[in-house]
A and B are shown apart, each in its own frame.
Chain A
């Protein structure tokens, strides 16, 4: 299985080539087109989510914190090779990270697009909800082996970190677990952090790879949102 990303960086489209009987799992709503032999299972069970109530709880948690779709779908190429293409909602780039055995990639909830079943996507990771800044942060964890497709708002910068970096919560895409994170105030005090417009930021420390996006969805929402007419009713 392989991903090709076309039309980078603004209007990226990912094409996923599947060998006979191979499966790719993707965020619901991301599919653009597919060959005739693709079998789609909507709201497919994620093996990492466990069964029954546990799965429902995890789905709800993901939805509440991450803005991530409640369900993922699986796409399987029946008996012959096939392909599926995926696109995100926002204008921006997509990138493929190859997860290595023993490595863990933490993905910001809404940046995850697709991965094969050889990569386990787990929602056990802690999220965060800023009380008055309105920022939410939720990480999915990817382990196993294989490619993970992620999307961004704007362009993506790849950084090999060895040391420390402070990143705005709205600009983080993903980072490997060799990097430890803590959520801290952008400025010294709570009031100045709020007034600075930065609110809470991530302090990333350690060694590993990180991906940063050049636009912040909440900033864009705030810029356009304040110009919109009030909703009726």
Chain B
């Protein structure tokens, strides 16, 4: 599938050229424009090869996604007998990046960073541990596997950081990460390990994610939680 990412890094959108009967799956609400002849099929964000039991499980996962991950419960499939052009954009200002999954890669993306995917790319919801829910700064992840393209959106610019050893990122700045022997652990920023309520409440950094091993992480230059905290006192 041919694609272009235009107007980055601040106002990026994704333009794809669909071949006849080729399908792209996109986050609900992301459509900007498309040529005539494309149709939209809306379905539960449940993965493609789900059976009945798996669908039921997926239904609850979709609800969990909506309330915890800030992700919509539904996804749209765009396709058409003649193909066509489709443009997709995320809600916030920022960049879009493309990743090609070859069947071997296992990519973790922050749930709200998902924009679109093709092929048999499957997304499963993962939580970064129970304490990640604390204070609404949680890390809700989608594990992407399979073969095909994935497009990921960010708030702000994207920096790719190779990890060999250990590296610390604020949870609100994580876009995606991968690595076969990359482990991650959530902790408050001020403590050297574990969870300290004092540093969580007073450091102003909330939760950070500590990665150890080898792999890479993509970080975004803005944090939506920080924007929300900044705006909130102005609202009356």
Interface residues of A (CB under 8 A from B): 9-10, 91-93, 154-155, 157, 163-168, 171, 186-188, 192, 195-198, 201, 203, 212, 214-216, 219-220, 222-224, 226-229, 231-232
What are 17 A-B interface contacts by the 8 Å CB criterion? A155-B7, A155-B11, A164-B36, A165-B35, A188-B39, A195-B74, A196-B76, A198-B31, A214-B6, A214-B13, A215-B91, A215-B93, A223-B92, A223-B224, A224-B227, A226-B70, A227-B136
- Residue-by-residue, is B93-118 near A (CB-CB < 8 Å gives 1, otherwise 0)? 10000000000000000001000000
The stretch that binds A, out of B53-61, B182-190, B228-236, is B228-236
**Distance in Å: Cβ of B95 to nearest Cβ of chain A:** 12
B81 close to A (CB within 8 Å):
no
**CB 8 Å contact bits of B54-90 with A (1 = contact, 0 = none):** 0000000000000000101010100000000001011
Is the beta-carbon distance between A214 and B76 smaller than 8 angstroms? no
Pick the residue among B11, B27, B112, B228 that contacts A215 (CB under 8 A).
Answer: B11
Choose from B33, B92, B224 the contact partner of A171 (Cβ within 8 Å). Answer: B33
Residue from the list A155, A192, A196, A216 in contact with B91, Cβ < 8 A: A216
Closest to B35 in A: A165
Q: A91-B93, A165-B35 are in contact. Are A197 and B76 (CB under 8 A)?
A: yes
Give A228 to B236 CA distance when docked, in angstroms. Answer: 12
Q: B144 within 8 Å of A by Cβ? A: no
A14 to chain B, nearest CB (A): 18
Residues of B within 8 A of A (CB): 6-7, 10-13, 27-36, 38-42, 70, 72, 74, 76, 87, 89-93, 112, 136, 224-225, 227-228, 231-232, 235-236
Question: Which chain A residues border B13 with CB–CB below 8 Å?
Answer: 154-155, 214
Given known contacts A171-B33, A220-B92, A228 and B76 CB-to-CB distance under 8 angstroms: no
Give the complex CA separation of A232 and B28 in angstroms.
31
Residue of A10, A197, A203, A227 with highest tally of chain B CB at under 10 A? A197
With A196-B28, A227-B224 as given contacts, are A166 and B91 in contact (CB-CB < 8 Å)? no
From residue B151, how far is it (CB to closest CB) to chain A in Å?
Answer: 14
Query: Do residues B10 and A167 form an inter-chain contact, with CB atoms below 8 A?
Result: no
A92/B36 in contact, CB under 8 A: no
Least Cβ–Cβ distance between A47 and chain B, in angstroms? 35
Q: What is the interface of chain B mostly: helix, strand, loop, or mixed?
A: mixed
B91 near A154: Cβ-Cβ < 8 Å: no
- B42 proximity list for chain A (CB < 8 A): 187, 192, 195-196
- Determine whether the beta carbon of A10 is less than 8 Å from that of B89: no
User: Which residues from B are CB-within-8-Å of A171?
Assistant: 32-33, 89
- B227 neighbours in A (Cβ, 8 Å): 224
Q: How far is the CB of B127 from chain A (nearest CB, A)?
A: 18
In the assembled complex, which residues on chain B have CB atoms less than 8 Å from the CB atom of A9? 7, 10-11
Most chain B beta-carbon neighbours within 10 Å: one of A187, A195, A214, A228: A214
Contact A227 B76 (CB under 8 A): no
CA distance A163 to B84 in the complex (A): 13
Given contact pairs A163-B36, A165-B36, A198-B76, A224 touches B228 in the complex (Cβ within 8 A): yes
Q: Cβ of B235: which chain A residues have Cβ within 8 Å of it?
A: 228-229, 231
Q: Whole-angstrom distance between the alpha carbons of A157 and B6 in the complex?
A: 10
Nearest chain B residue, comparing its CB with the CB of A229: B232
Nearest-CB residue, chain A, relative to B13 = A214
Question: Which 9 pairs show the lowest CB-CB distances between chains A and B?
Answer: A197-B29, A197-B28, A155-B7, A154-B11, A223-B91, A164-B36, A219-B91, A155-B11, A196-B42
Complex Cα gap A215–B96 (Å)? 13
A165 to B86 Cα, complex, angstroms: 10
